[in-house]
Structure 1
Amino acid sequence: METIGKCSCTQRMDDKVIIVTGASSGIGKETARVLASRGARVILACRDRARGVEVENELRAETGSKSIVFMQLDLSSFTSIRQFASEFLTQEQQLHVLINNAGTINANNYQTTEGYELSFGVNHLGHFLLTNLLMDRLKESTPSRVVNVSSLAYRLGVLNFDNLTQSEGRIKSYTRSKLANILFTRVLAAKLEDTGVTTYVVHPGSVNTGIKRNWSNWLRKMAPAIIPFLKSPLEGAQASIHCAVADETELSNGAYYERCQAKKLTAIGCDEDLAQELWKRSLQMIGIEAGPSN
Structure 2
Amino acid sequence: MRDKIVMVTGANSGMGLATSTELARRGARVIMVCRSEERGKIAIEEAMRQSGSQNMELLIGDLGDLDSIRRLAAEYKSRYQVLDVLINNAGVVSLKRKLTKHGFEMQLGINHLGHFLLTKLLLDRLMLADQGRIVNVSSGAYKVGKIHVNDPTLKKRYNIAKGYAQSKLANILFTKQMAVKLIGTRVTANCLHPGAVVTNLGVDRNTGFGKRVYTLLRPFFLSPEQGSQSALYLATAPEISEVSGEYFYRQKIQTLTPRANNMEDAQWLWDWSEKQVGL
Report the TM range for the smaller structure's normalisation: over 0.9
- 8 Å contact 1:243–1:251 — kept in the other structure? no
Q: Deviations over 1:223-246 (max 9, x none)?
A: 566332110000110000000000
Tell me the secondary structure at the aligned position of residue 93 of structure 2.
coil
1:25-104 alignment runs, 5 A limit: 25-104=13-92
Q: Does 1:203 find its partner at 2:193?
A: yes
- What's the CA shift for 1:71? 0.4
Q: Does 1:117 find its partner at 2:105?
A: yes
- Shift in CA distance, 223/145, structure 1 to aligned 2, threshold 3 Å: closer
- What's the CA shift for 1:222? 5.9
Match of 2:184 in 1: 194
Q: Does 1:226 find its partner at 2:217?
A: yes
Of structures 1 and 2, the one scoring higher in RCO (CA 8 A, sep 6+) is 1
- What's the CA shift for 1:160? 1.3
Q: Does 1:182 find its partner at 2:172?
A: yes
1:158-173 alignment runs, 5 A limit: 158-167=146-155, 168-173=158-163
The aligned amino acid for 1:47 is: R
Match of 1:8 in 2: none
- Shift in CA distance, 224/51, structure 1 to aligned 2, threshold 3 Å: closer
Q: Deviations over 1:176-214 (max 9, x none)?
A: 000000000000001001210001100001111001326
Q: Identity of counterpart residues, as a percentage?
A: 41
The aligned amino acid for 1:199 is: A
In structure 2, C-alpha distance between the alignment counterparts of 1:226 and 1:67, rounded to whole Å:
35
The aligned amino acid for 2:181 is: K
Q: Structure 1 residues 162-171 or 15-24, which shifts more?
A: 162-171
Q: Deviations over 1:61-92 (max 9, x none)?
A: 22221211110010000000000000000011
- Shift in CA distance, 143/218, structure 1 to aligned 2, threshold 3 Å: closer
- 8 Å contact 1:116–1:166 — kept in the other structure? no
Number of aligned residues: 274
In structure 2, C-alpha distance between the alignment counterparts of 1:123 and 1:197, rounded to whole Å:
21
- Shift in CA distance, 228/62, structure 1 to aligned 2, threshold 3 Å: closer
The aligned amino acid for 2:122 is: L
Match of 1:273 among 264, 270, 277: 264
In structure 2, C-alpha distance between the alignment counterparts of 1:176 and 1:152, rounded to whole Å:
11
Superposed CA RMSD: 1.8
For structure 2, which runs of at least 5 residues remain unmatched after alignment?
A: none
- What's the CA shift for 1:146? 0.2
Q: Does 1:137 find its partner at 2:137?
A: no
Match of 1:18 in 2: 6
- 8 Å contact 1:252–1:262 — kept in the other structure? no
- Shift in CA distance, 265/41, structure 1 to aligned 2, threshold 3 Å: same
Tell me the secondary structure at the aligned position of residue 148 of structure 1.
strand
- What's the CA shift for 1:282? 0.6
The aligned amino acid for 2:25 is: S
For structure 1, which runs of at least 5 residues remain unmatched after alignment?
A: 1-12, 289-294
Q: Does 1:212 find its partner at 2:202?
A: yes
- 8 Å contact 1:44–1:70 — kept in the other structure? yes
- Shift in CA distance, 266/49, structure 1 to aligned 2, threshold 3 Å: same
- 8 Å contact 1:45–1:73 — kept in the other structure? yes
In structure 1, C-alpha distance between the alignment counterparts of 2:219 and 2:49, rounded to whole Å:
30
In structure 2, C-alpha distance between the alignment counterparts of 1:221 and 1:137, rounded to whole Å:
42
Q: Does 1:237 find its partner at 2:225?
A: no
- Shift in CA distance, 84/219, structure 1 to aligned 2, threshold 3 Å: closer
In structure 2, C-alpha distance between the alignment counterparts of 1:27 and 1:258, rounded to whole Å:
15
